[in-house]
Each structure stands twice: as structure tokens, then as C-alpha cells.
Amino acid sequence: MLNIYLILAISICAETLATTMMKASHGFTQLGPSIVVVIGYAISFYGLSQVVKTMNIGIAYAIWGGMGIFLVSIMSFLIYKQRLDLPAIVGMLFIALGIVIIQLFSKSVTH
């Protein structure tokens, strides 16, 4: 099961990098960032496809999507200096809390 979480973490990181670089690709007009976007998503979706072989797809997608939203928001703040207002921050804290609740209490993580 540890390997599944490692693959999921790599998938989340690849998706976060790809989404963050999407802005730098300027609508796929900049070659370098565009390549990072395509490769990042390919790695991410391949990893997610491996994870759902043993993990509940709804749970895997909730973790992948939730962590992606959370991490992309942090990266957009750090790299692009984009700010979030209080409702956005509170919403993201709820997403993080949801992921914690799934990990601590859900019995439906694997099938």
C-alpha cells in the first residue's frame, strides 16, 4: 500500500507542476513550458491509472484533485504572486481537512 501512496504522490506532484506551468506556456505558445505541461499530465494520469488498480477510484481522485488544487494555489502564490482572498483560503482549508478525514477515517480507500 505504501507504493500506491508513493505513486499517488508522484502523480499529484506531476499534475501540480503541469498545471502551474500552464500559465507560463502562454496558451501553448512557449515550447519549454508547453512540453512540461504535456509530460507532467502524462506522468500524472499514468500514475493515477496505476493507483486506481488497487485504490477506490473516487477516493484516489478526491485525494489527487484536492491536493492538486491546494498545491497549485500555493505554487501560484509563490511563483506568480497571485493572492487568495479569505473565502478561497477557507475553502482550501476545507479541502485539506477533507483529505485528512478520508485518510484517517475512510474504510473505502482500497477495494
In the chain, where are the structural domains located?
A: 2-105
Residues with Cβ within 8 Å of 41's Cβ and at least 6 positions away in sequence, in order, are 14, 15, 18
d(CA 55, CA 57): 6
Q: What is the pTM of this model?
A: 0.88
Q: Which pLDDT tens digit goes with each residue over 9-43? A: 999 999 999 999 999 999 999 999 999 999 999 99
Question: Rounded to the nearest 10 degrees, how much is the dihedral formed by the CA atoms of 12, 13, 16, 22?
Answer: -120
- Residue 109 has a pLDDT of 67
Check whether 110 has a pLDDT greater than 70: no
Take residue 35 and report the three cell numbers written for it: 512540453
pLDDT digits (tens, 9 = 90+) for 48-107: 999 999 999 989 999 999 999 989 999 999 999 999 999 999 998 999 899 889 888 888
Please calculate the CA angle 52-37-60 and round it to the nearest 5 degrees: 15
Q: What is the pLDDT of residue 17?
A: 97
